[in-house]
Structure 1
Amino acid sequence: MPDAPAAEGSPDSYSVVVIGAGPAGLGAALNIVRARHRTLILDGNRPRNAATLHSHGYPTRDGISPLELRKLGREELAGYPEAEFQNARVTRVNREGTLFRVEAQGIRGSADRVVTAESVVVATGLVETLPALPTLRAFYGTSIHSCITCDGYEETGKPLALIGETSDLAEHALLLTRWSDDIVVFGPMGEEDERALAPRGVRVERRPVADVVGDRTGLTGVQLEDGEVVPRTAAFVRPIYQPALDYLAGLGADVDDWGLLATDGEGRTSIPGLYAAGDSTVPGPQQLIVAAGSGARTAAALVRDRL
């Protein structure tokens, strides 16, 4: 049997560096180390779903805390000698000859790192900006959510709010009607869309929102700037999403209209040896199971390319 593939050189030389240890990064790393590639996983430890108490739709793990899912993934990787994990925020990725040079700033007592790798998998996902409401964070992850597909079921039959400022609120409101027939949209919506959604129980409130209100039981309403409170017991917000890819600026990889890494559908970017998985690439359902599957698919392409 041949020796396990490994990068040549110093202990800071790796076959693969995976950037990000959410479901996409963990899905990629697990399959890469099982192909016996020496792999360093770097994670900034700032998951976008940190406030979420329960995640859904992941077979055998429905209802698990996203943080617990990450912990289990790290424990699985720890069982492979080919895997190394470090809490560090990647600040720059450049080419160094035929290799990638990856610079990372250590966090939580971890040392700074400068390493080289033959291949890099980008799985740092998105940064979300929530509506600027003073009390929103107090209920975010419990009775206010951002992922309708992830948390709609738990809010079935409740008076719901949809809060945002983007042009796609009608699409999100239509999806919400799978779980409730009492929905108020707080934000912009065209009159044609409003008329089409009205028979499904969707109302539109165009007065500006000042805040959300609630008590120990959770959300109780949405407060408008004129002081009126519209009673609601759960809400979904439409964040503004931005790619978390500044550290790749020196590579010149192709991006799409969203600013995300353009890939060939299997995770290969325009830069040979640079791959992307999860929300760092083509937008789609933002579910943990989808991200993990994307990571596994990207790993399969990387392993084949390295034969």
Structure 2
Amino acid sequence: MKGPVTMIAVIGPVEPALLTAWCEHYRGLGADDFAIALHAPDETSKDRRAELVTVLREHCGKGPLVLADGPWHEQLNSDLRDRLRAHAPYGWHLLADADEFQHHPGGLSMSIATVEAGNGVLGGILLDRLAADGGFPRWSPEVGLDQTYPLGGLLTHHLLRGDPRKIVLTHPSVPVASGNHRAPGYRPPAGSTIPVHHFKWRHGVEAELRTRVRHFTTGTWRETTPAVRTEAQRLLDHLDAHLGRVDVTGDTVGFTPVTLDRLPSWWRARVLDVVQGWSPPHSHSETG
């Protein structure tokens, strides 16, 4: 199938430097177009909203197609994403959050060839990036994400017991579930699973998670399942037990030095087990 590759993303009020790096990463990867929804909750300042719009225009080539505000109900992300997909040019859809940086080992063209030869969908696994001491430092473009968060491991899978699977590239006709975790009725090729470098664990993430738990618990934000709230609480409980840091020394998560441009030596063996054996932590799916 010929056609442009469009990046589809729902962006929250992240720091402008992260959004700049994200735009440049996906332009360098080969995205031809960007279809972005910017969701800025009511507490987001007008200056921050304006900064993010400017970043999108200058670094992704266009401003957001959708501007949204108000509570971050769980279903909102999927609704906005599907609106973007419906209006995107006919071609391939890349899917990623603002803190997700995909690495395609053979380049995007090889990933597209894999999808064309298969059933129209390519999968990834979250490779969570952490600072060397397990803390949540600020980062700067001068130092970069790789150097600030040099460790990578399967924290979402092992510690949070969340769904680490991501749909990263699809044909426009492929439906995608909440959080881009699954494509109902489609199974991505297990041998081609790519790493999705997950730079979520930055300065401010602990406060963000506490806000998330509070809003979902009180019903200020509507949840579809308890997954998002319970996964956030697991991380908070871990931090409470480890002096506010992630324990990066244990064998469970298996953190090792990684970089954005190189596939970890352990990737294929460990990830194949996750792809083939992952199941939700309870009898019902918490992750949508």
Tell me the TM-score normalized by structure 1: 0.28
**Rg (Cα) greater in structure:** 1
Tell me the TM-score normalized by structure 2: 0.29
Structure with a larger share of its residues in strand = 1
Structure with a larger share of its residues in helix = 2
